[in-house]
Amino acid sequence: MWGNTGMGSQTHARSAVNYPGRVAVLMGGQSAERAISLQSGTAVLKALQQQGVDARGVDLDARLPVTLERGQFDRAFIALHGRGGEDGQIQGLLECLGLPYTGTGVLGSALAMDKLRSKQVWQSMGLPTPDFMVLEPGFDTAQVAARLGMPVMVKPAHEGSSIGISKVNHADELASARELAIRYDDCIIAERWIGGGEYTVPVLHGKTLPLIKLETEREFYDYQAKYEDEDTRYLCPCGLDEDAEARYGQLGLKAFAALGGQGWGRVDFMLDAQGQAWLIEVNTVPGMTSHSLVPMSADRAGIHFDELVLRILETSEGRRP
């Protein structure tokens, strides 16, 4: 059961299922993913309010601590994507304020947002992830090509939604791809290209939801394919047999737990021609838009959007001040 804990002790609207108190839906912020965060937050806010939850939208800015104190909120639903909201910063602030929040904690959020350290953790645990190199200033293109082969993916280590990512087919394109990525981050990695199917494992309360296979006419599942294209295909069922889906789902759970993931999230992996899965990244605050994958998978499992939002809100219950 929900408890009326944290800041505030007023009598708030009671939802049809539980009593979560007053909820701050945190959205927006100033990251490169602000627009997507606003879409996610608006959808979450609407779903909560439709179910009788006393929820208020809060756009992340420098006045956030004062806003949360004055609002007498009992918990926070984090719908922030990218830096400041998905990397442990907002989680640390909420810990300091004693305000329960949804999803993964400070350390897990920071690790999952950092593609380099995510891969280092997985490697240390023997979990499969494509080989990679950090592209330092003045890096040797021939060395990258010799070690990783071509093509490779060049990506900022701390961005989401495929922002700043390029597929590089020839070694002489590496420098320009790094220049694009460096606009968003000061740590850039090159990752061995896996030429196979792209899948995602949605995670909710320690269990997997149905896997989704992603198909796009573009070279890879980039920002446009995720949020703008109408011809991107989302296959759920994903086309794998039951045993394979269970096996890859368990790999996703291990990858999620290895980084300290909690509550809900999404694990992305590639499947090569030999059936080997390669872990790509963990998203600890997945999108909740009309194009988003976790709501799509949940719906396949019979969990409609409004119910999904409540279940995600329940992940805040383990964090009492």
* Catalytic sites, residue numbers: 33, 161, 227, 266, 268, 281, 283, 287
What's the CA gap between 259 and 284, in Å, rounded? 10
Q: What is the dihedral sign for C-alpha 235, 239, 240, 242?
A: positive
Distances (CA, A) of 119 to 71, 132, 183, 312: 39, 9, 22, 26
Token output for 129: 């992830």
Cα angle at 188 between 254 and 27, to 5 degrees? 65
Nearest to residue 267, comparing CAs of 142, 140, 104? 104
Is residue 103 within 8 Å of 264, Cβ to Cβ? yes
